[in-house]
Amino acid sequence: MKEKLRVLDPVGQPSGIFGYRLNPEDDMMNITDPNLQPTISLDKMESLQMAPRLGSLENKRIMLIDTGFLGSREFLEELQEWFKRNMPSVKTELRVKPGNTFADAPEFWPEVKKDADGVILGVGG
Amino acid sequence: MENDNRTHGMKLRWSFPPYPVGWVSRETLRSYIEGNDPVTGKPLIEEIIYALTAPLTEEEKNFKPERRPRRERLLEPDTEENLQRLFLENGWTDGLPIVLPTEERVAEMLTGTDRDPQEVVGLMSVTPTEERLEYTVEKVAVNAVMAGARPEHLPVILAIAASNITSLPSSTGSYGCMAVVNGPVAKELGMNGGGAAFGPFNYSNAVIGRAWTLMSINFGNARAGQTYMATHGNGLSFTNMCCCENEEKSPWEPFHVQKGFKPGESTVSLFRGWNVHNLNIGNTAAEILNSLKNFGMMGNFTAILDPLVAKGLAKEGFDSADKFREWLVKESDLPFLQKEKVNLIVVGGESNPIYITSDFIYTATMPVDEWIPKGGIKKDARPLRMPVAITCADGSCGIA
């Protein structure tokens, strides 16, 4: 019978620490570097809640937000056209998220909350 | 996306169009919208409408981020063959055979430092939003064993680990990385900064560079297609262009001294980028300036100069790398190029005045000495050295 070996686990331990918000002022290279991101712990994330849903889209204002990632604008424009053709009562508006694709835009979200009933954010990549 | 749910602390509602979304026709995009989500197989538009309108489920209302349990220190005992298979099947390797990290081998590896094996060295992730994984000196030693390293390499590998920087940053573009060692430790380890330094001819270069990627896989949780999204991947990632600077042949102060360290201190400097152009010939400032202008880089420029190139520049009056960097920025007239984003490293065997150009970004210089045992780098009775490239003893056979 072949000898059995005892070996150590090579994988890092879960820390409960995540990256959470990308600083829009940062150099783009920093923004894409996990090491340079601010972090948040699981404890703080537990307080986040999802927004209530709309029930129906009839006569609702839906904002299509272009993240700036490759192809986002074109995809959302086609989505907007789909709503015009198929659900004309839905008022859609396409806006571009300010700043770098990979960065948060904290000044933008209050505007969105004010002007829209619901949001489609795209496209991730 | 399960990972992303954890990251956001809530079960966000996602839908997936097929990919790619960029550089495709409008007809294709329309077909995506009118077609199915390729992940769920359900109509995409129905999913989008559902996401906006369907009331939150109890799970969504009360979502709790997942707390993953700590991992056991030891794996279940098994045969060598089965364990090699286990490591491959779990994605804990770079696809090449590894040295299994037995208790005995890891204990031997840990003699390469005086630090407490349970001391936390850092946190790593390959994506900006994923959970960072924490690792100790012992975990670093485990990955060093797997890479085929020996105790004398551990201080440099620990220094890289302490940077928290992954060699596999997730981007659809495929990053490559570079690790350049400076100071006395390079010579003690028999590292190569001369002929064929980036090639597969030096033990220390290879195992240190490999250990960085194994740590990035196991500490950064690099999973192709899940957390690591490079469309091609990068062949550099196996050993990360790991070498030392050719300090002896360089007319300039070493790279780490340019970053504020003393010549007698040992460091490892880390870089990442996308493009490496290997064949540029010339040893004049004008030629390098021309390369820079034609490179099409994204604001960062790292040139790896054969010593013959650096000596040629010194003859032109650039008696320091700093002076030449300043001149390059001024003469290039590229508005986005800043002096601190231009890096000059001297590596090569004086075969010809050739320099490598890259868009590599300098990310950190990590001190090595704090990881070296008080008694110095652990010496082997028979240091393991591969053949070194033949160079002229008096340095007179160069072309410059």
- Give the domain ranges of chain B: 2-61, 80-371
Q: Do A7 and B101 touch (CB under 8 A)?
A: yes
Please give the Cα distance from B323 to B265 (Å, whole number).
23
**What is the pLDDT averaged over residues B15-21?**
88
- CB-nearest partner of B73 from A9, A14, A48: A9
Predicted pLDDT at B192: 96
B67: closest chain A residue by CA: A16
Interchain CB contact of A79 with B (< 8 Å): yes
Do B316 and B284 contact (CB within 8 A), yes or no? Answer: yes
Residue ranges of A 16-75 with Cβ closer than 8 A to chain B? 16-20, 22, 29, 31-35, 37, 39, 42, 45-50, 52-57, 62, 69-72, 74-75
Give yes or no for A121 touching B (CB within 8 A).
Answer: no
Reported as a pLDDT band with limits 50, 70 and 90, residue B400 is very low
Per DSSP, the three-state class of B11 is coil
The first and second tokens of residue B355, run together, are 């320099």
Task: Categorize the per-residue pLDDT at B124 as very low, low, confident or very high, splitting at 50, 70 and 90.
Answer: very high
pLDDT at B395 over 60: no
Query: Average pLDDT over chain B, rounded to whole?
Result: 92
Q: Could you give the residue ranges of the DSSP H alpha helices within chain B?
A: 2-8, 26-34, 44-53, 58-61, 80-89, 103-109, 137-147, 154-162, 184-188, 203-218, 255-258, 285-295, 307-315, 321-332
Please compute the mean of the pLDDT values over residues A2-23 and round it to a whole number: 88
What DSSP line would sit under chain A, residue for residue? -PPEE-BB--SPEEEEEEE----TTS-HHHHT-GGGS-EEEHHHHTT--PPPP-S--TT-EEEEEE---TTHHHHHHHHHHHHHHH-TTSEEEEEEPPS-TTS--TTTHHHHHHH-SEEEEE---
Query: How far apart (Å, rounded) are the C-alpha atoms in residues A124 and B229?
Result: 12
What's the 3-state SS for B278-298? EEEECCCHHHHHHHHHHHCCC
Q: Looking at the DSSP assignment, which residues form a beta bridge with residue B345?
A: B304
Distance between CA atoms of residues B372 and B374, nearest Å:
7
Contact assignment for A50 to B11 by CB distance below 8 Å = yes
Give the tens place of pLDDT for each residue, B60-99. 888 777 788 999 999 999 999 999 999 999 999 999 999 9
Percent of chain B whose predicted confidence (pLDDT) is above 70? 94
Q: Which of A54-58, B134-138, B284-288, B385-389 has the lowest mean pLDDT?
A: B385-389
pLDDT per residue as tens digits for the range A87-121: 999 999 999 998 877 777 888 999 999 999 999 99
Beta partners for residue A4, in sequence order:
B79
The reported pLDDT for the residue numbered B5 is 62
Instruction: Give CA–CA dist A92/A87, Å, rounded.
Output: 10
Helix (H) or strand (E) holding A98: none
- Single out the residue of B144, B199, B206, B127 nearest to residue B347, CA to CA: B199
Amino acid at B296: G
Q: Flag whether residue B85 sits within 8 Å of chain A, measured between CB atoms.
A: no
Residue of B nearest to A71 (CA): B22
What distances in angstroms separate CA B399 from CA B181, B351, B393, one per listed residue?
A: 26, 8, 15
Residues of B in contact with A45 (CB under 8 A): 8-9, 65
- Token pair for residue B62? 């009360």
